[in-house]
Amino acid sequence: MKIIPAIDLQGGKCVRLFQGDFAQATEYSSNPVEIARQFASLSTTDLHLVDLDGARSGTQENRSIVKSIAGESSLSIQLGGGIRSLEVLSKWFDCGVARCVIGSLAITEPEEVMSWIARFGAERIVLALDVNIDGRGTPVVTTHGWTRASNKTLFDCLDEYRATGLEYVLCTDVSRDGAMVGPNMQLYRRIMERYPDLQLQASGGVRNIGDLETLRKIGVPAAITGRALLEGKILATEIATFQQSA
The residues assigned a catalytic role are 8, 130
Q: Tell me the sheet residues that pair with 22.
A: none
Closest C-alpha among 155, 101, 164 to residue 133: 155
67 and 9 in contact (C-beta within 8 Å)?
no
Between the CA of residue 14 and those of 62, 121, 181, 235, what are the distances in Å? Answer: 11, 30, 21, 19
Establish how many alpha carbons lie within 13 A of residue 52's alpha carbon, considering only the half-sphere containing its beta carbon.
Answer: 23
- Cα 68 from Cα 76, distance rounded (Å): 14
- Cα 196 from Cα 52, distance rounded (Å): 31
